Structure 1
Amino acid sequence: MGHHRTALRTTAVGAVSATLVAGGVLGLAPTAQAATSGIRFVDIRSADGTVLKANVVTPADTDGTGRHPLIVFPTSWSFPQVEYLAQARRLADSGYIVLTYNVRGFWQSGGEIEVAGPPDVADASTVVDWALAHTAADPRSIGIGGVSYGAGISLLAAAHDPRIKAVAALSGWADLTGSIYSGRTEHVQAAALLDATGTVTGRHSAETRRAFDDFYSADLSKEQDLIAWGKKRSPGTYLDQLNDNGAAVMLANTWGDTIFPPNQYADFYEKLTGPKRLAFRPGDHATAELTGLFGLPNDVWTDTVRWFDHYLRGVDNGIDREQPVRIKSRSTSGYEGYPDWKSVTATTRKVNLAGTTTIRANVNSGADGGIVFLSSILDQIARLPPVASIPLLPRRWAAVWQSQTYARTQQVRGTARLHTTVTPTEESGTLVAYLYDVGPLGLGKLVTNAPYTFHGRTPGEPFGVDLELFSTAYAVPAGHRLALVVDTVDPLYIEHNPTGARLTFSSPPNDPSYVSIPLREQ
């Protein structure tokens, strides 16, 4: 495992350069215009003495006699404090005071990386305190938002600080454990990327370093500690507090987010009781909002500004009367509106998984979820998801079931669910399920996937598996079919299959196996 982890870190470091280049460009362009944009670079001292590097952008008409709504932006993981300056200037031009700060442990800010732990949550409130004391910020109109790491911290801060009235959480998480450890399976490429970029741009705390190392080790004895560590850092843990505080919450993410998959945001959204909005678009982690950080036109940031305008400034822009759930399919260009998440997945159809199939473990069959970031970005830009030749997948290592050929285009909307019976030859194991759109020549385009790991099972004894695949929106063209493929190895995840293990999938008469797919005809 040590060699495996080193290789993953090396790969992930390659992705660091893209992050740093983006951060550098974001840093240079806005700073060059600082003289005309009301930007001040300031130090904010946290409750424990840690110095946070921040910048304040104020409206041009601030004369000390009036109050302005305040928006706080904690930075994304590994990004510098100037990340949001393009959007901050836009917001300041319309009357906001905007304070963006480098989260502790990164770049010039002091302290160590706590992964949205209690010190990070306390820092967000300290930043609000500072703004109220040193700017013309209105204490009755306070918003917070951010991308990725900044989104998670924003949700946690809103749950702990009732002064926050509006949140825009872009590409964030509600359940940290459910994001990078879904199906009890370590999402190793995602973790390695975060680890590598954090190592280059910041300083891990001892607790953070231990959490990463325990995660890589895949040591079952560490599982409960990791779950507790993640739970403390999950907005879902504090859902009741967030609902009691009544902040208006906007959540936005992408279908292909390989760091924080969309399912946990959708589940969290359904449990919010205050004003809320949920949007999903094509792309990978934080790619949907990236162009907006450069000041370019961007749907996510347009929604964010409208959200803050309505709930902090009282602008009657109609956002509260629109369908609160908005999705854009990976196959089309328009948006669809729904009254709630349940309505997205209202129509489902089952594909029966008949028969008994045995596969061997430890070998990648050729079906996999792609590469963190790269694969979903290709899907976003060129509609080129990971592909596999379904007829050529070796049945020795992959179980394959296919639907009938569809006479009309089928719209996949929401969450597919697998139900099957598995009989293992070992007490532990990992399986990965993939749903493919298969054309007439047998080439399958990946629609969605998800991993599943089990421990403590009796060899030779069957047990039921229920697995949610990652939510998506995709069009299956007329003349195509859907295929469910299950194998045991995927580079995105750590596998737990002992050498020589086998898995048998069956469909007992009293408990048939199936995959339930949210489908409707176009």
Structure 2
Amino acid sequence: MPTRTRRFTTWRTLATAALAALLAAASLLLTPPRADAAPRRSEPVYSYADAIREAVWVDTGYDGDGDGRADRVAVDVVRPREPAARGRKVPVIMDASPYYSCCGRGNESQKKTYDAAGRVTGMPLFYDNYFVPRGYAFVGVDLAGTNRSDGCVDVGGPSDIRSAKAVVDWLNGRARAYTTRTGAERAKATWTNGRTGMIGKSWDGTIANGVAATGVEGLKTIVPISAISTWYDYYFSQGAPLYDSGPDWLSDYVDSPDARARCAAVQQRLVDGAPRTGDRTPLWTERDYVRAAGRVKASVFLVHGMQDLNVRMQHVGPWWDALGKAGVERKIWLSQTGHVDPFDYRRGDWVETLHRWFDHELLGYDNGIDREPVADVERHPDQWETSRSWPPRGTDAAVLRPAADGVLGLRGGRGTEAFTDDPALGETDWAAGADTPSPEKASFVTGPLTRDLRLAGASRLTVTARSSTPTAHLTAVLADLGPDTIRDYGAAGEGITTLTDRTCWGANTAADSACYRETAARTADVDFTVVSRGWADLGHRGGKDHPLVPGRAYTISLPLAATDHVVPAGHRLALIIAGTDRDLIDPPADRPTVTVDLARTSVRVPFVGGTSAFAKATSAPRVASIAPPPREGVTAPPIAQRIPAA
């Protein structure tokens, strides 16, 4: 925790203070501390300045670049000197990343720095500064093909995952490592007990998911932050393409210059295995960690921004549910931010919670964190609410149906609604005009709610529609219509503003500061909030793209991303169905007019209290309302980024 000036209250009298001191002394006399009492918290008792800093190269057993020898990945270690001198072994916190040299980590884009002997002197982020003095080792792994490692980046595939898994194996005595990249002198991890926790944001957290899905022994916990759970869903949404690029672009972005010169074959495999048709190929199957959730033995502390439009909330619901079915110990934080690390929106609570989590999972301390509420959800900027489970008990899906008069309710109606795809518009344009009929969308709205209504989990739209052209993309959006103040996820910083003042979180050296710039919530006043969204290619069936027969009816089931949102009393809930969602999916080859069959269209929405809660919240007679004038706020989502940003 940062050192801050304490302010003492003046209402406490000297007599009260004296009495408290006497009672405390009596308590110590009556109940002496047990000599065998289990520790509940690690303390910074070791020297960070004197920490051992070393580099090793771990043999992955995999020849990703095809040069005839197994790739070695570079591993930089910072560990306390004192435990090793006393014969004590320490656990490991590990961040495996492709970003240590190309792009940097964290809000300040820090990169690794080295001394003349090649030992790491500056490690990005606060993990080593904070945890090494508390008896942990920190290990920063350069993924294969990046920085000082051999091999090639294959974007979540065997090379990426094996390069990190091999390090866990080495820490547990099952893999070989060497003191140099090409030499024969062995390096053994005799200083660790092998208990490893992986952490990281974006691609780093994705690697943690992938390594956990191998079931590797010794990996005790992972903390994936804004992480991918299946790579297909990063590049496609049920056949609808994203980003106008594939994994070959991303691989080339982070490959070291040396790797670019020797990884042409890997690049071509990425191109061939990821056609822009959206077909589900074997390349995507081997990069799907959700299907392997049954192998996960590590606990999972999952952190994500509910307005993350880079690594979207589609990566949370299926992974969370699969882990639950596998009986994995889980914890979750959901913020209102975009692609932002919790260190930059809830810093003090984050460091404290992470500290207690690692103490419990890696040191075995009984500090009670496993008995606390599972979920923390940011309800308003810097205002958090907890739930004992997530989604909360009593959450059940209500089937809502659209009607031809624009009403969203339990009954629905017959008829059709048509819209023409306009790639120049997106979800915020549609939500802003949800009450007004327009040619580019079909929207359906409840009346003003008579009580708060909480959505928690993933929704699913079943829609029957006809397209006028051989290609058509669909977007489904759930929106809360009503004024609010939210984190401005559409602006630079995606919900935070970086300040100039710094606070320090751990020990410092001349080459590695633990002091980081503070942040504050960047907010916006809005008249609507997009709660959840999903996308699909109407012709995507059976994992493949099929041309549509114009005029023929097709029925698809379109998942909407998990969320946790309270629609307040007085607000209204809207379902919007449209075509291309500007900046969030790529447009189809044609500009179709899509006709929706309302009688065969419905959306399953998970409400706390289920159908009964929705019925009660919408029981008042529908009253025509006039949309308030728009206020300055989030008018468009951020342009989709091509990479999982640092």
Contact 1:42 1:56 in 2 (8 A): yes
- Counterpart-to-counterpart distance in 2, 1:103 and 1:60: 26
Alpha-carbon deviation of 1:432?
A: 0.9
The answer (yes or no) to whether the contact 2:398–2:604 under 8 Å persists in 1 is: no
Matched, 1:399 2:442: yes
- Report if the CA contact (8 A) 1:345-1:415 is conserved: no
2-side partners of 1:41 and 1:341: how far apart?
44
**Which position in structure 2 is the counterpart of 1:479?**
570
RMSD of Structure 2 on Structure 1 (CA): 3.6
Displacement after TM superposition at 1:504 (Å): 0.3
Given the alignment, which residue of 513, 516, 522 partners 2:602?
513
- 2:235–2:241 contact (8 Å) kept in structure 1: yes
Query: Shift in Å at residue 357 of structure 1?
Result: 0.9
**One of 53, 58, 68 as aligned partner of 1:40:** 53
Give the conservation status (yes or no) of the 8 Å contact 1:435–1:482. Answer: yes
Aligned mates of 1:447, 1:513 — CA distance in 2: 17
Query: Which residue in 1 is equivalent to 2:227?
Result: 172
Counterpart contact for 1:306–1:319, Cα < 8 Å: yes
1:418 is aligned to 2:418: no
Q: Which moved more, 1:312-321 or 1:57-66?
A: 57-66
Structure 2 counterpart of 1:141? 195
- Summarize the alignment of residues 226-375 of structure 1 with structure 2, pairs less than 5 Å apart: 228-242=282-296, 246-258=297-309, 259-261=311-313, 262-285=316-339, 287-291=340-344, 297-329=347-379, 333-341=383-391, 343=393, 345-346=395-396, 348=398, 350-354=400-404, 355-361=415-421, 363-364=422-423, 366-368=425-427
Task: Go from structure 1 to structure 2 and tell me whether the alpha carbon gap of 1:468 and 1:263 turns closer, same or farther (over 3 Å shift).
Answer: same
| Conservation of the 8 A alpha-carbon contact between 1:389 and 1:443 | no
Partner of 2:78: 57
Aligned length: 459
2:49 is paired with a residue of what secondary structure? Answer: helix
Q: 5+ residue gaps in structure 2?
A: 1-46, 61-68, 105-110, 113-121, 174-186, 405-414, 485-525, 540-545, 618-646
Measure the CA separation in 2 of the matches of 1:224 and 1:192: 14
1:388 alignment partner in structure 2: 432
Larger Rg: 2
- For residues 438 and 179 of structure 1, the distance between their equivalents in structure 2, rounded to whole angstroms, comes to 28
- Measured against aligned partners, the alpha-carbon deviations of 1:89-143 in whole angstroms (never above 9, x if no partner) come to 2111211122112212223434321213222332224323554654443335233
- 1:236 alignment partner AA: V
Change (3 A) 1:126 1:421: closer
Shift of 1:290: 4.6
Indicate if the aligned counterparts of 2:290 and 2:322 stay in contact, CA closer than 8 A. Answer: yes
Alpha carbons of 1:336 and 1:351: their partners in 2 closer, same or farther (altered >3 Å)?
A: farther
Q: Which has the higher helix share?
A: 1
Higher relative contact order (CA 8 A, sep 6+): 2
Can you list the C-alpha shifts for 1:462-503, whole angstroms capped at 9, x where unaligned?
232322211222233332212222221223344464434221
CA separation in 1, counterparts of 2:204 and 2:335? 19
Q: Deviations over 1:17-53 (max 9, x none)?
A: xxxxxxxxxxxxxxxxx97151514141433554533
Please give the secondary structure, in 1, of the residue aligned with 2:356.
helix
**What residue number does 1:435 align with?**
478
Could you say which residue in structure 1 is the equivalent of 2:529?
445
Normalised by the length of structure 1, the TM-score is 0.76
Partner Cα distance (2:469, 2:375) in 1: 43
- The amino acid across from 1:209 in the alignment is Q
Q: Aligned partners of 1:343 and 1:140: how far apart in 2?
A: 37
SS in 2 for 1:343: coil
* TM-aligned CA deviation for residue 312 of structure 1: 1.7
Check the 8 A contact 2:445/2:573 in 1, yes or no: yes
Deviation string, structure 1 residues 287-306 (Cα, Å, up to 9, x no partner): 133539xxx93544443332
Residue 299 and residue 213 in structure 1: after superposition, are their counterparts in 2 closer, same or farther (change >3 A)? Answer: farther
Equivalent in the alignment of 1:14? none
Aligned to 1:73: 95
Secondary structure in 2 aligned to 1:516?
strand
Q: Residues 465, 119 of structure 1: CA spacing in aligned structure 2 closer, same or farther, 3 A cutoff?
A: closer
Instruction: Give the aligned residue type for 2:292.
Output: Y
Instruction: Report which stretch shifted further, 337-346 or 255-264.
Output: 337-346
Q: Give the distance between the partners of 2:280 and 2:95, measured in 1 at CA.
A: 32
Q: 1:194 to 1:281 in 2, by over 3 A?
A: farther
Is contact 1:440-1:479 (8 Å) kept?
no
Of 439-448 and 449-458, deviating more is: 439-448
Structure 2: distance between partners of 1:450 and 1:58: 45
Residue identity opposite 1:97 in structure 2 = A
